[in-house]
């Protein structure tokens, strides 16, 4: 069910799924505090067991700091665990804003990132725009063979990308520190954001909320076993097919490079469920 949007709803809901990472979550919340865009709310869904990440002193402190500075924070203890797709579906069900930023719990953002993402999605009128995560432990690992980039110079358009297609190979641009090397080579600053073609983007993706819901959101969670991955990818592919989607360079998002909390990756959502939007079948 779609919550009714109130007249005082913020422009962006930042949706953070978390599990067992209280320190990383606190770092992510700290980078949200530094954002120069004011009109956003933070919604956290915690599935940590047995102890809640929401009970840590660091998370409590950052929640208080955000709230004292006019940013609403909602924290939910969302159990039992039914898989990441259901976790994301729950977060989406809580948003009432025009845009929603799905943000992983181990990401650091530059202070103008939200403002720049909003600028790109409004200019392109597309379904989503993402900032790929830089892994700076790979700063000295330069991979020219993985640094091809295709810009949307004439504007973002709907596009169908299938797993294992030639377009799928674009994902290599987001490995290691490849995108960081590309933006440095091109000399791009934050005031020169450009949209580029992607296969998918992980960790920091701003959606047009209505368009994400129109493409089915994460309602496919019931078609997946509890242990799965790629749910964010499948949702993006379905939105991209109907409304278009892109990456933004320069990115401005950095990965803490912690071990994954989803080690069971045998069931990859875009490879077991159809990419085609169910609304069009």
Residue 35: count other Cβ atoms within 10 Å of its Cβ.
18
Sheet holding 204-208, edge to edge: 73-77, 40-46, 12-18, 99-103, 204-208, 128-130, 245-249, 194-196
Q: What is the reported pLDDT for 6?
A: 44
Q: State residue 217's pLDDT score.
A: 97
Angle at 96 between CA 95 and CA 102, to 5 degrees: 35
Q: Are 85 and 227 in contact (CB under 8 A)?
A: no
Task: For residues 28 and 18, give the distance between their C-alpha atoms in angstroms, rounded to a whole number.
Answer: 11
Report the CATH fold assignment for 12-280.
Spore Coat Polysaccharide Biosynthesis Protein SpsA; Chain A (3.90.550)
Phi, psi (5° rounding) for residue 27? -65, -45
pLDDT of 261: 77
- Following DSSP, what letter does each residue of 5-68 receive, concatenated? PPTT--SEEEEEEESS-HHHHHHHHHHHHT-S---EEEEEEE--SSS-GGGSHHHHHHHHHHHH
- CA pair distance 165, 196, nearest whole angstrom: 18
* Tokens 């998918």 -> residue: 200
Give residue 8's pLDDT: 66
pLDDT reported for residue 278: 53
pTM: 0.94
Tokens 């009970």 belong to 55
Three-state secondary-structure class, residue 2: coil
Written as tens digits, the pLDDT of the chain (281 aa) is 344 444 467 899 999 999 999 999 999 999 999 999 879 999 999 999 898 999 999 999 999 999 999 999 999 999 999 999 999 999 999 999 999 999 999 999 999 999 999 999 999 999 999 999 999 999 999 999 999 999 999 999 999 999 989 999 999 999 999 999 999 999 987 778 999 999 999 999 999 999 999 999 999 999 999 999 999 999 999 999 999 999 999 999 999 999 887 777 789 999 999 998 555 54
Domain locations along the chain: 12-280
Q: Which residue has the tokens 């959606």?
A: 207
Rounded CA-CA distance 14/25 in Å is 13
């Amino acid at each position: 069910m779609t919550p009714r949007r109130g007249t005082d709803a913020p422009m962006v809901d930042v949706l953070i799924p978390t599990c067992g990472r209280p320190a990383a979550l606190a770092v992510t919340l700290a980078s949200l505090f530094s954002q120069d865009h004011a009109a956003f709310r933070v919604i956290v869904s915690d599935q940590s067991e047995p102890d809640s990440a929401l009970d840590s002193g660091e998370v409590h402190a950052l929640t208080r700091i955000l709230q004292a500075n006019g940013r609403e924070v909602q924290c939910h203890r969302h159990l039992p665990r039914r898989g990441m797709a259901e976790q994301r579906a729950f977060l989406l069900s809580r948003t009432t804003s025009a845009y929603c930023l799905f943000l992983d719990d181990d990401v650091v953002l530059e202070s103008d990132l939200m403002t720049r993402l909003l600028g790109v999605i409004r200019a392109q009128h597309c379904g989503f725009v993402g900032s790929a995560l830089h892994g700076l432990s790979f700063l000295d690992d330069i991979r020219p063979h993985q640094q091809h980039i295709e810009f949307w110079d004439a504007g973002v358009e709907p596009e169908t990308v299938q797993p294992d297609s030639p377009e799928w190979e674009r994902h290599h641009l987001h490995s290691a520190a490849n995108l960081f090397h590309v933006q440095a080579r091109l000399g791009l600053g934050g005031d020169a954001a450009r949209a580029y073609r992607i296969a998918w983007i992980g960790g920091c993706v701003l959606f047009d909320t209505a368009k994400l819901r129109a493409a089915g959101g994460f309602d496919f969670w019931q078609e997946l076993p509890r242990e799965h991955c790629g749910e964010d990818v499948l949702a993006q592919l379905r939105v991209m097919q109907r409304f278009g989607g892109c990456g933004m360079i320069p990115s401005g998002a950095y990965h803490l490079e912690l071990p994954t909390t989803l080690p069971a990756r045998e069931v990859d959502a875009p490879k077991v469920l159809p990419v085609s939007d169910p609304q069009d079948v």
